[in-house]
Amino acid sequence: MRDVQLILVVDDTPANLAVTSEALTDAGFEVAIAKDGERALKQAERNLPDLILLDVMMPGIDGFETCRRLKASPITQEIPIIFMTALSDATDKVSGFNLGAVDYITKPFQEAELLARVKTHLKLRHLSLTLEQQVTERTSELTAALQQVQQSQIQLLQSEKMATLGQLVAGVAHEINNPVNFIHGNLGHIGGYIQTLLEFIQLYQKHYPHPVPEIQAKAEDEDLEFLQEDLLKILASIKIGSDRIREIVRTLRNFSRTDEAESKTVDIHEGIDSTLTILQHRLKATPERPAIEVIKDYSNLPLVECYPGALNQVFMNILVNAIDALEDSFNKQQKTFEKFTIAIRTSVIDEQLVKIAIADNGSGIPEQVKQSIFNPFFTTKPVNQGTGMGLSISYQIITDKHKGKLECFSTSGAGAEFVIQIPIRQKVSLTF
């Protein structure tokens, strides 16, 4: 805003211009002049005045037409206009007000009246601009506050969902763990008992190679030799299945960590693997698409001080997005076969940071979308299929909670890679 207010005086009479300009200049205003409507329009757009004094009766376009054009232009439409006229007809004044003028000064006018009206409307204009600015600022503040509340609500909902999922997974793991431990614990005894019985049968066959006909017939009908061989194979298979269930239970328990109040030193790979276990059903082949292959390239990472429950949530969000992207890519390309992969690589940077990169070979993210993916409520998914908060919350967890960095690298048509960097010890933070 200029220090001295500028008044544009438009009048075709030089004497009127001189008198008006002198009065305004003496009162401390800066004055610009125009002798007709066309010049006034150009002058106003070139150097916006704070107020215009506009003569009604002028050659060429008169004051009314000049006012109409000023109010029609987005550049000059907000400038207050005071008509100067020798006309006193009420109809003319109404016409002027309807065109957007704020006041009339009747010629010949008194200098005191002229200055009073000019100052009054400049003050009203200033108050109007100030009020508009305050309303705009307040609206921006309220909008920001509303977005913050919405973001907090979504974050709370997301946290509650993750906590509920963690409790559910922990409960299921606990319920499975008891019978599985019972089965696993008794497999050793069963194996010993079966081995004893088989040895007993073999000992019997050694000392009684020619049993009575009934036993001989039963042994041949049941294929006793096959049963002895297959029984040990079945027992070994049961042992493998039991071990697999116990491993699944262990990874479920690892994923379900909800103790986010304090950081813990954990194995990052366990968190990734437990998340993949939860998502195993989405990685398998379906009638609509082939299986998604997970390629692990794990380095020898140290234990990392972090918030494991929150970090698992980040892994979940990024991996779910990768799976969704691959499915969307397959549907759009309408290919009968495509090898879809998710590559997970881990490494250590400068003995201070761990890096986790999760990349898919889908269709990639367009540049205009990539610029907004970490913004709250931004989503490219259909209605009711995403809140637009998953990556925003992930970004907050990594940058705020872990003092780390989360970046996305992608080229449309060439897949996408999300790279996480977090300190091995929380006292270290990244510089952005």
Would you place residue 407 in the very low, low, confident or very high pLDDT band (cuts 50, 70, 90)?
very high
Query: What are the strands, taking DSSP E only, across 240-297?
Result: 264-266, 292-297
Q: What is the pLDDT of residues 90-99, one digit of tens each?
A: 666 787 888 8
Q: Is the pLDDT of residue 343 over 60?
A: yes
Q: What are phi and psi of 430, to 5 degrees?
A: -90, 150
Helix (H) or strand (E) holding 76: none
Cis peptide leading into residue 308 (ω within 30°) = no
Residue 424 pLDDT: 93
Residue 405 pLDDT: 94
Would you place residue 236 in the very low, low, confident or very high pLDDT band (cuts 50, 70, 90)?
confident
Q: What is the pLDDT of residues 19-49, one digit of tens each?
A: 889 899 988 899 998 998 899 999 898 889 9
Would you place residue 259 in the very low, low, confident or very high pLDDT band (cuts 50, 70, 90)?
very low
For residue 426, with 0-12 CB atoms within 10 Å meaning exposed, 13-18 middle and 19 or more buried, which class applies?
Answer: middle
Residue 383 pLDDT: 47
Q: Is the pLDDT of residue 213 over 70?
A: yes
**345 has which bridge partners?**
297, 357
Question: Which CATH number describes the domain made up of 259-432?
Answer: 3.30.565.10
Tell me the CA distances in angstroms from 48 to 41, 44, 209, 358, one per residue in order.
10, 5, 119, 55
Q: Quote the percentage of the chain above a pLDDT of 90.
A: 19
User: Distance between CA atoms of 251 and 277, rounded to whole angstroms?
Assistant: 7
Does this model's pTM top 0.85? no
> Do the beta carbons of residue 411 and residue 366 sit within 8 Å?
no
User: Distance between CA atoms of 201 and 232, rounded to whole angstroms?
Assistant: 14
Q: Which range has the worst mean pLDDT, 8-17, 125-134, 339-348?
A: 125-134
Would you place residue 255 in the very low, low, confident or very high pLDDT band (cuts 50, 70, 90)?
low
Closest alpha carbon to 262 in 401, 430, 421, 159: 401
Q: Where are the domains of the chain?
A: 6-109, 148-256, 259-432
Closest alpha carbon to 25 in 163, 157, 140, 118: 118
How many CA atoms within 13 Å lie on the side-chain side of 212?
2
Fold topology of 6-109: Rossmann fold (3.40.50)
